């Protein structure tokens, strides 16, 4: 299903000029490893700043597309003793998560005490920027494509034993055909499993101050081990934003929203079946949420063979949609 963008947004650099950043243009070296020439800062997130860079090796080889994206750690983040390992794990995990809806990571390196990741340069815009242009949400066809492809990315990561742990519009990139790309697995942690090594992954959002309260589940805010259901909670918030342009709890953190008894309104035009699934994603209790992003994807289908394969194992009966329903 091809859905063309019907708007022209500013170039990514200018669209993000108002972002809070921690790595200044002046403090970033212009050339890394005598190879990557930093030309434009594209934006910043919890872990660091992303630059558009020209790869001189590609230029030398006559490559018509010599540009890559370079991610540098923010100055304050870089000072944390676990930061280098966190960035290395992001590179390794993202490389292992080869998927059309997850950003491709090419390599990981270090310039002096400055670690960085080399990754694909994406064409399009952050979901956060699109939602500023569409304050009441995306159109039906576009919304379905973004939601379905975002769900595909999450389902793939979860199937590989990884939780994103910082899903939000700023970590979702949308291409010209509205295909979503999931960014920033720097906060990802191995899902707890008895079959895994006893060596624990000590890196966590709380320890590095990189958790986003408006999208974090109550369990994450309480410092509990991260599970796929925590991504499902954030997914519910992002889907709600895609459909309405509004945060379901007015950006109140989940623990405060639960304490205040806040309940989201059903978005206009959403069927009761769709709302039932989305409402389950927004449950303040882990056990009330679906165990897979594919439950959400099924309710916002796009007509592609890939989507049919992706959801082929999902049963359609209402009892299966309700994770709290008693099984026979």
The pLDDT score that the predictor gives to residue 145 is 94
Classify strands 189-190 and 114-119 as parallel, antiparallel or unpaired: unpaired
Asked whether residue 129 falls in the same domain as residue 215, the answer is yes
Paired residues of 126 in beta bridges: 173
Q: Given 119, 140, 161, which residue is the final one in a domain?
A: 119
Find, among 190, 158, 154, the residue nearest to 172 by Cα: 154
What residues make up the domain containing 110?
20-119
Asked whether residue 115 falls in the same domain as residue 135, the answer is no
Q: Given 89, 119, 149, which residue is the final one in a domain?
A: 119
Q: Given 119, 150, 177, which residue is the final one in a domain?
A: 119
What's the rounded Cα separation, in Å, for the pair 101 and 155?
11
Quickly count: other Cβ atoms within 10 Å of residue 247's Cβ: 17
Residue 174, judged by CB atoms within 10 A of its CB (0-12, 13-18, 19+), counts as: buried
The pLDDT score that the predictor gives to residue 187 is 58
290: in domain: yes
Q: What is the CATH number of the domain that holds 114?
A: 3.30.200.20
Asked whether residue 64 falls in the same domain as residue 164, the answer is no
Angle at 125 between CA 187 and CA 220, to 5 degrees: 25
What's the rounded Cα separation, in Å, for the pair 61 and 141?
41
pLDDT in tens, 127-139: 999 999 999 999 8
28: in domain: yes
Find, among 21, 96, 33, the residue nearest to 70 by Cα: 33
Residues 6 or more apart in contact with residue 53 via CB below 8 angstroms:
32, 36, 37, 38, 39, 67, 68, 69, 70, 118
The pLDDT score that the predictor gives to residue 21 is 33
The pLDDT score that the predictor gives to residue 153 is 94
Asked whether residue 84 falls in the same domain as residue 143, the answer is no
36: in domain: yes
Q: Strand, coil or helix: what is 68?
A: strand
pTM: 0.81
Asked whether residue 130 falls in the same domain as residue 109, the answer is no
Asked whether residue 160 falls in the same domain as residue 97, the answer is no
Tell me which residues are annotated as active site: 166
What's the rounded Cα separation, in Å, for the pair 323 and 250?
26
- The ranges of the chain with pLDDT < 50 are 1-26, 192-202, 305, 313-328
Q: What are the angstrom distances between the C-alpha of 77 and each of 18, 83, 257?
A: 20, 7, 29
What's the rounded Cα separation, in Å, for the pair 216 and 115?
27
1: in domain: no
Asked whether residue 201 falls in the same domain as residue 311, the answer is yes
Asked whether residue 191 falls in the same domain as residue 262, the answer is yes
Q: Considering all CA atoms of the chain, what is the largest pairwise distance in Å, rounded to the nearest integer?
A: 65
The pLDDT score that the predictor gives to residue 248 is 98
- Tokens 């979860």 belong to which residue? 158
Q: Is residue 19 within 8 Å of 50, Cβ to Cβ? A: no
The pLDDT score that the predictor gives to residue 1 is 47
Q: What are the angstrom distances between the C-alpha of 208 and each of 72, 84, 171, 185, 226?
A: 16, 12, 17, 14, 15
């Amino acid at each position: 299903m091809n859905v063309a963008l019907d708007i022209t947004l500013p170039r990514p650099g200018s669209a993000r000029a108002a972002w809070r950043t921690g790595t200044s243009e002046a403090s970033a070296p212009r050339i890394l490893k005598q190879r990557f020439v930093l030309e434009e800062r594209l934006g910043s997130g919890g872990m660091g700043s992303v630059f558009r860079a020209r790869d001189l090796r590609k230029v030398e080889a006559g490559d018509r597309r010599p540009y890559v994206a370079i991610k540098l750690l923010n100055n304050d983040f870089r000072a944390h003793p676990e930061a280098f390992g966190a960035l290395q794990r992001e590179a390794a995990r993202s490389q292992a998560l080869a998927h059309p809806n997850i950003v491709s990571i090419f390599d990981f390196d270090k310039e002096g005490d400055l670690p960085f990741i080399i990754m694909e340069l994406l064409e399009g815009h952050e979901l956060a920027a699109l939602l500023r242009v569409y304050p009441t949400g995306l159109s039906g066809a576009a919304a379905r494509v973004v939601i379905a492809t975002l769900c595909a990315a999450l389902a793939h990561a979860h199937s590989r034993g990884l939780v994103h742990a910082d899903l939000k519009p700023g970590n979702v990139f949308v291409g010209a055909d509205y295909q979503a790309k999931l960014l920033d697995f720097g906060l990802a942690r191995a899902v707890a499993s008895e079959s895994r090594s006893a060596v624990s992954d000590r890196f966590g959002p709380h320890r590095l101050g990189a958790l986003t309260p408006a999208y974090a589940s109550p369990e994450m805010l309480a410092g509990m081990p991260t599970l796929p259901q925590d991504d499902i909670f954030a997914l519910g918030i992002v889907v709600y934003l895609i459909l309405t342009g509004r945060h379901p709890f007015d950006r109140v953190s989940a623990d405060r929203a639960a304490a205040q008894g806040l309940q989201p309104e059903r978005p206009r035009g959403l069927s009761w079946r769709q709302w039932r699934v989305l409402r389950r994603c927004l449950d303040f209790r882990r056990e009330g949420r679906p165990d897979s992003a594919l439950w959400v994807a099924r309710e916002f289908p796009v007509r592609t063979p890939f989507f049919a394969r992706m959801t082929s194992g999902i049963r359609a009966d209402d009892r299966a949609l309700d994770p709290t329903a008693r099984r026979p």
